[in-house]
Every structure is written in C-alpha cells, then in structure tokens.
C-alpha cells in the first residue's frame, strides 16, 4: 500500500489510535496522537505500524518515551500512565506490513515489488508470450 492509498480506501487500521485525543494544549485545542507524533518529527503512520508490531508492554514503553519529550499538553504530565494505556489499547493487534522490510537504521522501506508495481512483471510476461508464439508458430517470412 502506498502512502496515500489509505485516503482512497477510506482509512487505515491505525485511525482509531492516530486520531485519539492526547489532551488539550495551552490554547485549549485538542491534540491527537497524529499531531503529537508529527510535532515530534515522526511519521505518524510508520510509528503506529511499528508500535502495533511490538508486544503491548514494549509499545507502551516506546510511547512513554515519545510522550516524555512532548510538553505541549500540560494535562499529559498528570495522567500520563492512564492516557498511554488507553492509547496502546487502540492499536490494532498487528500492522500486517508484509510488503515492508527494515533497513540498516531500523527505518521501514517499501519492498521492490511494492515500489515498482506490477508494470515490470507484466512487461516480462508479454515478452515471454511473444517469444513463445514465435517458437510454436514460427516466424512469418515474406518468401512463404
């Protein structure tokens, strides 16, 4: 799935988690997990997928580390444990990222097939079909 396929398909399995409220900022605006992760310089969908792939205790620890560096929501300091527990429960059981691989620095990379699409595969199959047709039926020559 490309980065924008979720827009066309009507959402992702992470929407419940990403759009959940973390709390209100100093201006009284509700801050979502998506906004929080983006403000921390993380890709929200990649981070949600990574968290979903972890055991719940590890996901909770990782989310705690992220939110510890987030000072925009004052109430987060008071109820951090409760909020994190609620957020981790909103993660899907597993992200199911079968078309991704992990690179050297732990970043997820699209697989080769996912990045190129089916175009090259179809082209190769058409060339094989053309060659097979020439082999079985013979080439047409002007002298026959």
pLDDT 10s digits, 87-96 = 999 998 765 5
Report which of 76, 69, 5, 72 is spatially closest to residue 42, judged by C-alpha positions. Answer: 69
Least confident among 2-6, 56-60, 82-86, 137-141: 2-6
Angle at 47 between CA 28 and CA 108, to 5 degrees: 155
Angle at 9 between CA 24 and CA 100, to 5 degrees: 85
Share of the chain above pLDDT 90, in %: 31
> At 118, is the pLDDT very low, low, confident or very high (cuts 50, 70, 90)?
confident
Higher pLDDT, 123 or 34: 34
Number of neighbouring beta carbons within 10 Å of residue 43: 14
Give the global pTM. 0.58
- Weakest-pLDDT range from 25-29, 46-50, 87-91, 116-120: 116-120
Q: Is 48 in contact with 18 (CB distance < 8 Å)?
A: yes
């Amino acid at each position: 799935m490309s980065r924008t396929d979720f827009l066309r398909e009507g959402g992702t399995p992470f929407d419940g988690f990403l759009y959940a409220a973390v709390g209100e900022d100093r201006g009284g605006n509700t801050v979502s997990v998506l906004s929080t992760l983006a403000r921390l310089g993380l890709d929200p969908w990649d981070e949600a997928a990574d968290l979903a792939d972890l055991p719940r205790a590890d996901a909770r620890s990782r989310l705690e580390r992220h939110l510890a560096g987030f000072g925009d929501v004052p109430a987060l300091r008071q109820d951090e444990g409760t909020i994190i527990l609620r957020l981790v429960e909103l993660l899907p059981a597993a992200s199911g990222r079968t078309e991704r691989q992990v690179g050297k620095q732990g970043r997820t990379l699209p697989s080769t097939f996912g990045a190129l699409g089916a175009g090259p595969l179809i082209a190769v199959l058409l060339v094989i079909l053309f060659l097979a047709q020439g082999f079985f039926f013979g080439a047409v020559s002007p002298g026959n």
